[in-house]
Amino acid sequence: MPQLAAFPKAFMQALCKDGTMTVSEWIRLAAPLDIDGLEWYAGFLEMADKKNWLRFRKEVEDHGKVIPMMCCSPDFTHPDVKFREKEIAKQKEWIDMTHTLGGSYCRVLSGQRRPELSVEEGVKLAADCIYACLPYAEERGITLILENHYKDDFWEYPEFAQKMDVFCKLVDSIHHSHFGVNYDPSNTYLAGEDPIELLKRVSNRVVTMHASDRYLKEGTIEDLRKEEGGAQGYAKRLSHGEIGKGLNDYDAIFTELKRVGFDSWISIEDGVDGMAQLERSVTFLRKKISQYW
């Protein structure tokens, strides 16, 4: 049966930018939730001090939970080779961080969708950089997970592999025992595409999942599709919402994941309207997991 984790989506600014929340405070907030683990983010301010890594692992484990997944955002599509080498070095440090925290999965991305970059160039740059990290990850028992991503909170341009065809091209170019997909259905809407279609194209490569939901504040999906191609900044029409109340069809998602034998971590990206919302999302997902597994 899949296990549930939670990600502090509502507190990224506080944990990563202005320091108004400590990591220990987030751990204590999340501890009462009916979840099995906490997904980590490499950019938490306090993670800059390596002495904190084992301390935070112990704090989480003292609450009877684990840290299964690391969320980080390498930028592998930069045209400068020296920049890419630094990103590879950072990814290796994040792999070390994941290993120290007791995790098994560390995210990779393609990089930013810079206007001058062709699809072929971007896929090759990203695949080469991911392959450069895979032996290091394998040695430490870590699986690198490529997410169908929209945009890191702190990036200028959207994800290079945001569109389904580009994402699938990149996934198809990487074959390794310690590589898989982190599926996020909501991000597919931000590409103006169908999350179930994407899932069916990559379901046999999915090893982890981000659970969230989105709703349209105004207009239609067709309006979103017209606007989002190459747009900078976050989509204005879509907003995070309580899981089970938005656009995602979790019955269809879990039917397909169950069909391919998925039995791993689902991490909740929710709670932007408070911890009560996050609790309701946990309850919804627990019920659905029990229904399908």
pLDDT tens digits, 83-95 = 999 999 999 999 9
Rounded to whole angstroms, how far apart are CA atoms 112 and 95? Answer: 21
- The pLDDT score that the predictor gives to residue 227 is 54
pLDDT at 18: 94
pLDDT of residue 213: 84
Q: pLDDT band for 223, please (50, 70, 90 cuts).
A: low
Report residue 14 CA to chain centroid gap. Answer: 19
DSSP 107: E
More confident: 212 or 287: 287
Which structure tokens are listed for 142? 């870590």
DSSP, collapsed to helix, strand or coil, labels residue 36 as coil
Q: How far is CA 260 from CA 47, 197, 204, 206, 207, in A?
A: 36, 15, 6, 9, 11
Report the SS3 class of residue 161: coil
CA 186 – CA 188 distance, rounded (Å): 5
The pLDDT tens digits for 139-197 are 999 999 999 998 877 788 889 999 999 999 999 999 999 999 999 998 898 888 999 99
Is the pLDDT at 100 greater than 60, yes or no? yes
Residue 230 in this model has a pLDDT that exceeds 90:
no
